[in-house]
Structure 1
Amino acid sequence: MKITRRMMVGGTVGAAAAAYGGLVAWQNRNIPSTNKGMALVADPDEILDLPEGFSYRVVARTGSTMSDGLLRPGRPDGMACFAFSGRDNAVILTSNHEIPTWDGISAFGKDDALRSKFTGKYYDTRPDTGMPYHGGVTITHYNLDTGEVERDFLALAGTKINCAGGATPWGSWLSCEETTDVGNAPHGFVFEVPALIDGPVEPVPLKAMGRFRHEACAVDPASGIVYMTEDGGEDCFYRFIPNVPGRLAEGGTLQALMIEGKPSVDTSNNDEPTLIEGKEYAAGWITLDDVEAPDADLAQRAIAAGAAMFKRGEGMAYGHKPGGAQGEIFFNCTSGGKAGVGQVFRYTPGASNDEGTLTLFFESPGAGTMEYCDNLAVAPWGDLIVCEDGIGDQYLRGITPDGRIYDLARNAHEDSSEFCGACFSPDGKTMFVNIQEPGITLAITGPWETLRVA
């Protein structure tokens, strides 16, 4: 394993499609919630509580029949929204389905009776039954004007526990397997699904991106580097430097982040404070070998070589600074922090590939502020949007550039399941999100301009 180092400090808070920065503190409106946000209005249909003036539409539900004759799979998780070429009134949603082998939520129906309707190939089948694994990706063509699904189909099949992932600047979805189980083939890889594909994709694992419990991806468009989180308990923060930017299947170099002067540091702060909130730490990268990891030991080997350890890496989003090419990567750690209920980190690349800084951007002091942060998005008005995967009520939380928290939505469904896959339409007017159980995809609209602080 080769260690690269960096020696500079720099960076300010970044953003995504809209500039993340230059905003003043969040101002309380209406009746403050416990998190100093807006009051949420109770939903009479008991699905989603939203601020006054906001509304939602149900895009899709688990078990509905899709355009290809298959059933919409259960446990929708990570998701992205893409522009529909030549159409301003339609978008393309790519959605993961975090399914292991459970019955009742498969695209193929009970006893996999609908398998004959699937025209593509499976990545893997179960050794005990020969039936395909039920995880994968669906694609949905959604009309923003009518609120109707125009087409939906299964795009990736035979994978397992497809949790999060990330959109690429070249128009594809990276779907991540959050398991290193072995069926007839090993699992724990990233799969690429072009958003504009007309049918099922060829299921090709991107093995050079490593075999581990993948969670989320984010691509720096300036360099083509793909950053990745891992959700296994004692994890690393990775990056993949492709041999050819935008062509991940052609291989590249996998590395794990290290913190200068803190070899193999536990960043969670669970037992003792090791990182100070708001402080920038010089970061370097360890080049990894044997990345297909037949023993599923990639993180252990990386940490032993000096890589930093993170506590359950989850959602991630790329943020872009105003007026320049430099961007930043935000990512969540679900079980990090002294209270063990979540941290948000920021990685700022430096002037060269071997330079960067890591900052503990936010650490939740308790479940009442933010509990078990999971998927992550950057809003058009500049705030971070965090999907909770907590124990009690589940919220969509907003985090301002100065680290203040507010409530954006509450899951009012009786199942009280986690929020997943928050993402925005290209025009910034619609936010899509999944409620994992019983499996509902929602489109939220409203006066987003009221959330932008001038």
Structure 2
Amino acid sequence: MSLRHDDHLDIFRELTQGESAGHMDPHWSFSRRGFLKSSVAGSAALAMPFAALSGKANAVSLPYSPDYGPLAPVADEATGLPLLQLPAGFKYWSFGWTGDIMSDGRPTPAVHDGMAVVASDANKIVLVRNHEQGGTSGSFASPKVTYDAACDGGTTTLMFAPRLEQWVGAYASISGTIRNCAGGPTPWNSWITCEETSNGTHTGSAYTKQHGYCFDVPAVGAARPVPLTDMGCFSHEAVAVDPVTGIIYETEDSTPSGFYRFIPNMPGNPAAGGRLQMMRLAAAHNASITLLGTSYGYFNTGAAGMVAGMSWDVDWVDIDEPNKPFVSGTSYGGVRAQGLVQGASSIVRGEGCWYGNGVIYVCSTSGGSARQGQIFAYDPRRETFTLVFESSGASVVNNPDNIAWSPRGSLILCEDGSRSPQMLHGLTLDGTVFPFCANNMNFSASGMGSYTRPSGRVFGNNYTGSEVAGATFHNEWLFFNIQSPGVTFAVTGPWDNGAL
């Protein structure tokens, strides 16, 4: 086992041999040329993104992209099974099914979630993938990269060879964490993985350490299972790094939830500590929360009556105790409470977060009048927070979660709702939303029938309603996960025909 693992790690080391981060492709998952092209094309959108550009109050929802065309089942190049519905001309390769034996000899963990490209060269693409496991069955990785030996969440690192159109392998990169839901790629070629919890010894005797933290997982080499405590102890969801300033923006999956920024003491090195702040908008209070017997008002951006194009000025309040997991007498909420008592604002279930086009895009999974989700754009140069999209119903977009910026200047939205099938949607700069991919993984008797992997694991259920997660682009490739049964996909095709 160790020889196979060492051989595999040698491939990963070769990726960055003799290279600094400045010589590697940027973390936002496409080439410098593509980034510059999209930045120039989208520069006019900074002040008034998406629907606000054309003065539309609501996004235009299409049954499919007029450029890519309608969706239909497409056979997987790896298994031959029609696992996805895609437009004509697109093809894909599945990989890393739950239970598959990885290059280090360990079985692939379950519950695939957030993911991103973290490094690349012409021949290889490295991704780090979250596993949102929240149990206490024990770490799936080696003790060297384990935080709390009782816990089974963590990340795996994957490699894909684009010229060969094939997956190379994977290995366990950090574990001993809880509910690694999302996170975000960094300009220093790593993945910050986030725990969506604030559990710890105060909530259960099975835990040996406090949880609710972020961890930095490098593209190559061993991760340090040391929490970034100054980034806060709360129900983390995603992060996005502004490459201009090095400031890290953070979302919180809770209701109410804060939108935070972490100002590092040393940009590019969050382990060196820094200052945590929570966003406050210049808006009248429309909600309240009672903390220790006192009611505090705040502005809830997810309330009914918001309209795409609304924008608010931003300032920030300091979080003096970022490592405070709970309010006295409760088991959670210690960080957000510090912001709310200062009038900080809230989004409803803050989830996806991604840097693109010079702004930080933020997803509110359950916000809006229909409670089907909103997308906001925070402009760090102008200090504004703008509602750029709100879903009017589950048939439009059903509770978006993870989001990512595409090389062609649009957003891709991953659904985490109740309808079946769950989908990936494109959202363009003019406010047009359309389905791009649908989950077609039905292994029940009424679908494809049961399917057995080489590992011996049998899949026999209908998974079409399972969450789509972890979308991330690199040039002509889109990678994403279906959380259950736990599969990763690499998709390519005629991207230039449309907005994604």
- For residue 33 of structure 1, report the CA deviation from its aligned partner: 5.5
The residue identity in structure 2 corresponding to 1:123 is: Y
Q: Which moved more, 1:146-155 or 1:299-308?
A: 146-155
On the 8 A contact 1:161/1:179 being kept in 2, the answer is yes
Secondary structure in 1 matching 2:340: helix
Partner of 2:373: 342
Q: Distance in 1 between matches of 2:425 and 2:283?
A: 34
RCO greater where, 1 or 2, for CA within 8 Å and sep 6 or more? 1
User: Partner residue of 1:120?
Assistant: 144
Seen in structure 2, the aligned counterparts of structure 1 residues 35 and 269 have a Cα distance that, compared at 3 Å, is farther
- State the partner residue of 1:12: none
Could you tell me how far 1:89 is from its partner in structure 2? 1.7
Map 1:34-49; keep pairs closer than 5 Å: 34=63, 38-43=69-74, 45-49=81-85
SS class of match (2:339): helix
Q: Name 1:267's counterpart in structure 2.
A: 301
Aligned residues: 398
- Normalising by structure 2, we get a TM-score of 0.76
Contact kept in structure 1, 2:130 and 2:182, CA below 8 Å: yes
Aligned match of 2:262: 240
Q: Which residue of 2 aligns with 1:439?
A: 486
Secondary structure of 1:120's counterpart equals: helix
Q: Distance in 2 between matches of 1:82 and 1:36?
A: 29
Report matched runs for 1:22-421 at 5 Å.
34=63, 38-43=69-74, 45-84=81-120, 87-101=121-135, 108=140, 118=142, 120-125=144-149, 132-182=150-200, 183-197=207-221, 200-263=222-285, 264-270=298-304, 273=305, 275-295=306-326, 296=332, 297-320=334-357, 327-350=358-381, 356-392=383-419, 393-414=421-442, 415-416=463-464, 417-421=466-470
Aligned sequence identity (%): 39
- Residue 144 of structure 2 aligns to which amino acid in structure 1? G
The normalised TM-score by structure 1 is 0.83
C-alpha deviations, 1:250-297, integer Å up to 9, x for none?
111100001114351011124xx3x43202211100111111014232
8 Å CA contact 1:176–1:190 kept in 2: the answer is yes
Task: From the two aligned structures, give the one with the greater helix fraction.
Answer: 2
User: 1:203 is matched by which residue type in structure 2?
Assistant: P
Contact preservation (8 Å) 1:55, 1:446: yes
Amino acid at match of 1:420: A
How far 1:121 moved relative to its partner? Answer: 3.8
* Shift of residue 404, structure 1, vs aligned partner: 1.1
Q: CA deviation at 1:102?
A: 7.0
Q: How far did residue 119 of structure 1 move?
A: 5.4
Residues 149 and 120 (structure 1), Cα distance of their counterparts in 2 relative to 1, 3 Å cut: farther
- Kindly indicate whether the alpha-carbon contact (under 8 Å) linking 2:113 and 2:481 is maintained by their aligned counterparts in 1: yes
Conserved in 1, the CA contact under 8 Å of 2:73 and 2:83? no
Q: Structure 2: any 5+ residue segments left out of the alignment?
A: 1-33, 52-60, 76-80, 201-206, 286-297, 327-331, 443-462
SS of match in other structure, 2:123: strand
Shift of 1:36: 5.9
The superposition leaves residues 35-73 of structure 1 with CA deviations (integer Å, 9 ceiling, x where unpaired) of 665310123533110001111111221111111111111
Aligned to 1:249, the other structure's residue is in SS state helix
